[in-house]
Chain A
Amino acid sequence: MKFDIDLDKCVGAGVCAIAAPEVFDQNDSDGIIVVLDPHPSPDQEAAVRDAAVRCPAAVIKLTEQ
């Protein structure tokens, strides 16, 4: 699966880091999203989808299945 990140919208809520901790983390300096794995394996798909739905600022956009 593939996704795009809109960094400008991120408010550092950190929901992605609990929904998909193997794919997303937070920057130490401002809490903004950090992508740990830009090409997540199929077993991470549900977690990434969950992160995209729960992100309060709609930062993560799924672009490809």
Chain B
Amino acid sequence: MISLPQTTPPQARESLPTNRCPFDPDRRYEELRADRPVPRVSTPAGFDVWLVTRYEDARAVLADAETFSSVDASSSHLMGDKDNLGAPPPPGVMLRHDGDSHSRLRLRLAREFMVKRVAKLEPFIRHLVSEQIDRLAERTGPVDLYRAFGLPVPALVISKILGVPEEDRDEFERATASQVDLSLSLEERQAAAIESAGFFVRLVQSKIESPGDDLISRLILEPAESPMDAAELQGIALLLLAAGHDTTANMITLGTYALLKHPEQAAKLQDAAFMETGVDELIRYLTIVHNGVLRKATRETVIGGQSIRAGEHVAVVLESANRDPDFLGDGDHLDLDRMSAHLGFGYGPHQCLGQHLARLELRIALPELFRRLRGLRVATPEEDISFKNDMVVYGIKELMIDWDEVTP
């Protein structure tokens, strides 16, 4: 029997490791996994958490949603206000709901993102990617891949799924891109966030008045035991955008950079094997949802030999778990032929709802980019590239690229 501490844990003497370099996790994770797998660290939001650094422990925490609540899961330790911890989750924002409240939302949405349904989007995504590369080709000189290609592709895919009218999609894309554009001031980004929130209020209202063939309309029209109200629908739309936009944009941009730095792997892009495994390996290797997925213990428990008390927070470090040598012997290598049970999409009942859509977008976008832009290369000195070390989603702030010619 393991005895549980009766006193408050000591204040953390170390901070959350955020120094990635640049594809690998912070080097401190190697030592932590080996010697102190569940350390107590301070976080940017001003409270301490237990870090879970090993693969098996990460799976155990994320699988046990009864012991580990998601109420603060919106990265409260990175950008939250510690006074708001434990506040009730907003309607529709399922990543912060637990138990039946989560299942009710998840199971209404799972069918929209199931393998068969997502596969039907392939022609649309192929056409969209081709169109976006054509637009790139019209420009000369170095172009920021993140802004000119990474962000528009997933934004336009989500706008199609949500049923944003075609004439509004460019406006939608601009507003959503501005929210995450670090070249803009904080005030400008907040204004863009308010603009897109307003966009969703109007979108949901228009679907209530005249439904179409899209996700929001189906949620409105299809009979259910507990119908969704406008606030929930707005929450769902906002969450789907937040979860599916900047993540995919960063995977496209950072993934392109990683492939340029691993030409022997990029050579496999046009192989069928990439369709089967390469995207998952790239997601594992880069693990862009980093710096910890936050959970709150609902009862006393033990993880990795560490006692955790009810009410304490645990941050599951996916980028560390995905490089755990007990999970993969040579996990620091990128090998697009490898298939693994990686945690890049998380694990447990909250595992990424849109994972099949993300796979499909990347399977199309990355090979097409390398096939059509002959001589694709980074157009700035390497030391000028800056990375999103302290952000919720890892990536490159701006990746200036150039190419020799564009093939059809």
Contacts and interface: CB of A to CB of B under 8 A. Distances in A.
Interface in B211-242: none
A12 B104 CA distance: 12
B111 A30 contact: yes
A4 to B, nearest CB: 17
B116 A26 contact: yes
Interface in A8-38: 9, 11-15, 17-18, 21, 25-32
Given A11-B106, A12-B106, A56 B111 contact: no
Given A11-B103, A56-B351, A18 B341 contact: no
A17 B106 CA distance: 18
B113 interface: yes
B348 A12 contact: no
B103 A54 contact: no
Contacts of A5: none
Contacts of A12: 106-107, 110-111, 114
Q: Dominant SS at the A interface?
A: loop
A32 B107 CA distance: 8
Contacts of A58: 63
B148 to A, nearest CB: 31
Interface residues of B, number: 24
Contacts, number: 69
Nearest to B65: A57
Contact of B351 (A11, A21, A26): A11
B107 A30 contact: yes
A56 B347 contact: yes
Contacts of B352: 13
Contacts of B346: 56
Most buried by B among A13, A14, A28, A53: A13
14 contacts: A12-B110, A13-B351, A15-B355, A26-B110, A26-B111, A27-B111, A29-B111, A31-B111, A32-B107, A53-B341, A56-B348, A56-B351, A57-B348, A58-B63
Given A9-B349, A11-B103, A31-B112, 5 more contacts: A11-B351, A15-B351, A18-B356, A29-B111, A31-B114
